[in-house]
Structure 1
Amino acid sequence: MARPSCGYPMTQTSVICGTALPAMGIAVVLLQASVSHFGGNSMTGKERMWAATVGAPVDHVPIWLREGFSFEHPLPAADDFAQGWRAEPDYAALWEFARHHCDTRGAWSPGGHFNRLMAIPSRYIRHDSQQVDADTRRTITRIQTPKGELVGVDEQRRGIETTWRVKEFVETIEDFEKLRSVPFEVSPVSYDGYERSLRTLGDRGVTCLGISSPWVVVTACMSYQQALAWSALERNLLLESIEEVTERILACLRVVCQRPLDTIANMGGCEQCTPPMMSPDAFAEFVTPYDGRIVAFLKEHGIPCNCHCHGFVRNALPEMIRAGFESTDPVEEAGRGGDLTIAEARAIAGDRLTLVGNLEFNELETLEPRQIRARVREILDSGKRRLILSASAGPISKMTPRLIANYYAWIEEAVSCGGCSQ
């Protein structure tokens, strides 16, 4: 028997068994039917991740290991500059074990439309790479603006899957006005990444369209300290720019969503607008009104959206619900990067928001396996509905023996205790 599609229909309402249902509810009905019909651990990873995200029943709490575990791609070679550590035998054995028990999310982009440079058209941006030494690569990015060139510099180190910004694009108001002077247009859309993600993922997991919060699309061109200072000293300028970027993102999405898309979306970066960096009210001012319009557009097109937000989210969770997000990660634990327990987060979110977490990566690095098993049980005991078991981050460099042992403990305990009775 063919399984029901996990994608939301593209219409506002559809009819199932003679009953008109809103588009965002149809996937829930189909997924409920899938669980009740097949029973047991019968859902595919794609079905399970979709269902957990939108609040439909699941056969088992999804286990998502985040970055460092892209099961849809083969393991890299040992001489790979950034990912060579994944060729280590101990990691490869863990990867092989994990891929049989964990679900995944494959990121895709239609092009450079949602770049963190005021979402300017990609044709104004040029990247030049250079090898600094055997273990360091540098990327020099130049932006041609009507008011002069802007330059930013990033570096990457061997064996580490991240980059460091070593020169900011914007250091003054004049620099920022240069960036704002670039004329906007919707760049050509490519679905190659989407099609490739669908093909490589198969039924293992969900595709995920990456979009940054308008706040971070505006402020990522400058230092974090400068963005915080400007939120007070240049507040009107930032709000005006965030409004402009919101309209740019929506303009791009109107083109991207002209065809049906079997994808969820992730919006990231808004953790900067939470305590202790900014006031408890900052999220409501700088995030909710703008992210909410984007989330509403995505929802109209059958695409549920996750809010990626580290840090203190006690005050932000109600705002995420108000903005229409379906889920949030990583819901960091009090004393371990956050300001509330998983039980407290559950009490705030109720059945309105899926929690994706809440193991902390430094727990996985430092605790004993028995402690990780206890933490997994604690998270599951808070409620298995609207939960995706995950961590605050994934490994980006060589894993220590303890970290590897704790990943085994996490997965084994989740497999043992994560089943859901319907």
Structure 2
Amino acid sequence: MTPRERILKAMKFELPDRIPVMCQMSIGHMLQQLPEVSPVDFWFDVHTFADGLIKLREIYNFDGILVSLHGHIQKWDRDFHNRTVENGLDVLYGKDRKYIFTREDLPFPEFYETRKFISIEDLNIESIPTEIDYIPVSAGLHFKIDLKNKFEIFKMLHAKVGDEYSIHGEVTSPFDYLLDLLGYENALIALIEESEKCKSLLQRFTNGIVQLANEMCDQKIDAVKVSSPFAGAGFISPDFYREFVLPYESQIIKVIKEKGTHVYIHTCGAINDRLEMMIESGTTGIECLDPKPLGDVELPDAKRRLGKKVFIKGNIDSVNTLLYGDEKKIIHDVKEIIEIGKQDGGFILSTACSIAPMVKRENIQVLRKLSEEFGTY
């Protein structure tokens, strides 16, 4: 059985030979494993990024590859007027901010002046482009998409690995785009005071993301991850989730499924109070399911409630188990997760959220070994 076949079977609730293993990695963790690669090149250059993803899969013997960035711009340096090295770190200077590149984290944006967000009252929703041309990776950090070359990375990866491994794409929730545009605090106030205009804005973003997801599914990929990190209980209530997240993510999920592609929602932190609502979206899978203390999900309870409605991708604690835990704790925790997760199929062994930057390589390499020892069917 090929790694790709293994993941496909798990996503379809068919029993593979063993539980597949595939983790999302933080950019910081990726760079820690690729000391020969420039953080700037890894972020901007499609060839460097593709080769890095392939090497990382080889290091950990994962069954699939997640592509979190796409649409790399060939002449990206045109957006910057200066590049320097400060305190041993590459720094790129743009129009209103500089970007500091480290090996431990995402590029860090530092604004020259206090960042000002547009208010929902002053926003003309028609001014929002109908075609999505950026990924809101983090606060103040956008990854620009080349609209004429959105999916080169997928073609490049498939040319290099063929059908051996499961390739997954990624789009971002409309809720994230709203938070990024308005600013977190202003956005939460706007949800209360200007709820209808917020819904119009969410729909505007949704239309663009639906188009992007539809086109992405024409690539040789098996699944699309819907990144929705701020939709957990630590940020919004179940009522707000139903009103401002569920209707819009459901539209994206619908078009992905219509293309015959699997789709899973990635929401960090506490989601125990909204698992059933997440199923209502029509998703075929859920990623993370953070256990305590980072979240509040108990895997046996989640398996019971989710049943065979959605597959699970999770739910190893990257911090308390893999970063701070010793070998004995790692083996104990992961073995327990495997034994619970493998019941009735529909399970991919993964960290709950992304692998923390400073997790030791050997702590991730053991996951494949544990899957082979305890995760067979």
Settle same-fold status: TM greater than 0.5: yes
Cα deviation digits, residues 70-96 of structure 1 (max 9, x gap): xx99x7453634699xxxxxxxxxx89
Aligned match of 1:339 in 296, 304, 307? 296
Which deviations, in whole Å up to 9, do the C-alpha atoms of 1:90-110 show, x marking residues without a partner?
xxxxx8997474312241766
With over 3 angstroms needed to count, the CA separation of the structure-2 counterparts of 1:181 and 1:312, relative to structure 1, is same
Alignment correspondent of 1:53: 11
Change (3 A) 1:310 1:256: closer
Residue deviations 1:25-57, cap 9 Å, x none? xxxxxxxxxxxxxxxxxx211111222123222
Matched residues, number: 341
Change (3 A) 1:293 1:112: farther
Matching of residues 22-421 of structure 1 within 5 Å: 43-67=1-25, 76-78=34-36, 80-81=38-39, 99=59, 101-107=61-67, 111=71, 126=79, 130-131=83-84, 133-138=86-91, 153=97, 155-167=99-111, 171-173=117-119, 177=123, 181-185=127-131, 187-188=147-148, 190-254=150-214, 259=218, 261-269=220-228, 271-334=229-292, 336-363=293-320, 364-384=322-342, 385-395=345-355, 397-399=357-359, 403-420=360-377
- In the alignment, which residue of structure 2 is the partner of 1:117? none
Mean Cα deviation higher: 50-59 or 126-135: 126-135
The 3 A distance-change label for structure 1 pair 183 and 274 is: closer
RMSD: 3.6
How far 1:211 moved relative to its partner? 0.9
Greater RCO, CA 8 A, separation 6+: 2
Which SS does the other structure have where 2:230 is aligned?
helix
Question: Partners of 2:117 and 2:169 in 1: how far apart?
Answer: 30
Deviation, 1:377, is 1.8
Question: Is this contact kept in 2: 1:370–1:409, CA < 8 A?
Answer: no
With 271-280 and 56-65 compared, the bigger mean Cα shift is at 271-280
Q: What TM-score do you get using the length of structure 1 for normalisation?
A: 0.70
1:189–1:255 Cα contact (<8 Å) kept: no
Identical aligned pairs, as a percentage? 18
- Change in Cα spacing, 1:176 to 1:395, as seen in structure 2 (3 Å) is farther
How many angstroms apart in 2 are the aligned matches of 1:409 and 1:254? 36
Q: What letter corresponds to residue 185 of structure 2 in structure 1?
A: Q
Give the number of the structure whose alpha-carbon radius of gyration is greater.
1
Using a 3 Å threshold, how does the CA distance of structure 1 residues 404 and 188 change in structure 2: closer, same or farther?
closer
Match of 1:382, SS?
helix
Give me the whole-angstrom Cα distance separating, in 2, the residues matched to 1:347 and 1:218: 34
CA change 1:157–1:391 in 2 (3 A) is same
Per-residue displacement from partner, 1:151-195 (whole Å, max 9, x unpaired)?
x63633322241334348652317972785255357435442221
How far off is 1:222 after superposition? 4.1
Answer yes or no: is the 8 Å Cα contact 1:130–1:139 preserved in 2: yes
Amino acid aligned to 2:349: L
Would the alpha carbon gap of residues 307 and 128 (structure 1) be closer, same or farther in structure 2, given more than 3 Å must change?
Answer: farther
1:370 and 1:129, CA in 2 relative to 1: closer, same or farther beyond 3 A? farther
Residues 287 and 312, structure 2, Cα contact 8 Å, conserved in 1: yes
Classify the secondary structure of the residue corresponding to 2:206.
helix
Partner Cα distance (1:130, 1:275) in 2: 40
Contact 1:330–1:391 at 8 Å: present in 2 too?
A: yes
Question: Aligned pair in 2 of structure 1 residues 389, 395: CA closer, same or farther (>3 Å)?
Answer: closer
In structure 2, do the counterparts of structure 1 residues 292 and 202 end up closer, same or farther at CA, with 3 Å as the change threshold? same
Q: Distance in 2 between matches of 1:107 and 1:250?
A: 18
